[in-house]
Chain A
Amino acid sequence: MTDADDRLKALFAMDEPPARDPAFSASVMADIARRRFLMDVAMLSGVSILGALVLWAAWPALAPLLSTLGRGLSPVMASLTLAATAVILLEGRVTSATALKHD
């Protein structure tokens, strides 16, 4: 390296940004988060629209099937719902009782 190169390098070094610039880095990462959010929204919108289209196209075939299934499954579903409700309520009571005992 020659003196002329050193001189050029020293002059160029005057426009170096700081080695650490939290404001710049934060701004870049905020832009990336925004871009990521927009990509997620676009992907979810696309999937939703696609799903809606598939459902709309398949509805004539699905409707009778779901109706039959619904009629057959409704007593089972009703029993399951009742059982789940009872479990949740009883569990709440048991938990409260245990908590009172400990107090």
Chain B
Amino acid sequence: MTPGGLDEALVEAAQAGSTSAFARLVERHQQPLRAFLRRTCGDWAMADDLAQETFLTAWSRIDLLEAGASVRPWLCGIAYNKHLSALRSAGRERSRERDWEAGKSPSSGAMSDERLTLETAMAGLPPDQRACVALCLAADFSHAEAAQALGLPLGTVKSHVTRGRARLLQVLGGSDDGR
């Protein structure tokens, strides 16, 4: 069975009320979802909290997922909205900024200089641009998939990816030899 076909079967079973099918979906998608949130939030603990909330919301809305729809973009869309809500919450935003400033991200200890530079550069991008970069450059989403997941126009996603990529390469000291 193809990964997409397996997802479809699991979604169908979860929609029929199977908790174990939903548990399989969590197992299959926790890694890409958490990676997306880590890149988008910068704060790993917050990313894992948001990933957990995302799966809870997905469980309560699984009936709304249409047959044949991809699970990953759907989950990333929910996660992105949760991230935006968290950003709007003033307390969390302040604590996130404190973490950035103090360099106390849980990942920072084990990071190479280059990786740390990338993370700092990502933090400097606007949230929309960061999410587009996280999906298209890091997670191999097509522009169309990212646009669908984030609820943004296709043109906006393309320009966010181009600008974000250029900015990251500039900070990392690389040449923009591609697009």
A residues neighboring B (CB under 8 Å): 1-5, 7-9, 11-21, 24-25, 27-29, 31-33, 35
Contact = CB atoms under 8 A, between A and B. Distances in A.
Contacts of A2: 177-179
B177 A12 contact: no
Does more than half of chain A's interface fall in helix, strand or loop, or is it mixed?
helix
A25 B138 contact: no
Contacts, number: 90
B113 to A, nearest CB: 11
B111 A8 contact: no
Interface of B: 19, 22-23, 26-27, 30-31, 34-35, 38-39, 44, 48, 51-52, 55-56, 59-60, 107, 111-112, 114-115, 118-119, 134, 137-138, 165, 168-169, 172, 174-179
A46 B114 CA distance: 57
A5 B112 CA distance: 18
Contacts of B178: 1-2, 4-5
